[in-house]
Amino acid sequence: MINIIAISIAAIVVIVLMLQIVMWVQKKLYKTVLYTIKKGKHYCSNLLPFIIGYNIDKLSYKVTFTESCLYDESELEFSGVNKLPGITRLLVHNNSYRWGWRSIKDENKIELYAYTYDKGVRSIVPIIKVDINVELKLDIYIGIDRVSYALNDYLLYSTSELETIDDSPFSYINRVYFGGKSTAPNTMDIKIEYEYGN
């Protein structure tokens, strides 16, 4: 019985170490990523980086929306808010904290949103309109009882008190996603430069 426990513990340690090595390699190889969402798709073509961790509480990156991100929302069957990378605790539709965006084509702008799920309840709050082809620094900070969203190091929005931020220690970083229910009306490129911690 002791051998089985020792082997199980050793296996868990090896798996954790392997995951740490994979995360370290991804952080070195995938600092800057050009995410491409093909016409008619929701998901970007890039599968990496796929960052998982324990209680991830901050995500910082620089994003540039290209002209290809502009579209006429009236052409979509369903309007909705698209997603940028964010932090998920266990399940994306249960506890997740992301930046959302949509095109304002007639203004040549992108509108940014705080896109939050808390205990399965979704909240979408419009924050600010930004220019295309401009590099923007976006941050998400998960505190003890609230989530804060910052643009270019200026706090723009904090959620009201949330009950379940630390519901699960297992965390991962989401990738870029188009929709809502509608798929991308044209191929889109979004450049993201991750600012990983240590």
> Which residue range(s) make up the domain with 5?
1-30
Overall domain count for the chain: 2
The predicted model scores a pTM of 0.81
Task: Tell me: do 54 and 73 sit in the same domain.
Answer: yes
Task: Tell me: do 11 and 108 sit in the same domain.
Answer: no
For the segment 109-163, what is each residue's pLDDT rounded down to a tens digit? 999 999 988 888 899 999 999 999 999 999 998 887 788 999 998 888 888 766 5
> How do 32-37 and 188-194 pair as beta strands?
antiparallel
Task: Read off the pLDDT band of 198 (50, 70, 90).
Answer: very low
Task: Read off the pLDDT band of 52 (50, 70, 90).
Answer: low
> Are residues 83 and 177 in contact, defined by beta-carbon separation less than 8 angstroms?
yes
> Are residues 118 and 164 in contact, defined by beta-carbon separation less than 8 angstroms?
yes
The C-alpha atoms of residue 29 and residue 27 are separated, in whole angstroms, by 6
Kindly report the CATH number assigned to the domain that includes residue 134. Answer: 2.60.120.200
Task: Tell me: do 2 and 76 sit in the same domain.
Answer: no
Give the pLDDT score at 99: 96
The DSSP call for residue 100 is E
User: Beta partners for 167?
Assistant: none
Task: Tell me: do 17 and 60 sit in the same domain.
Answer: no
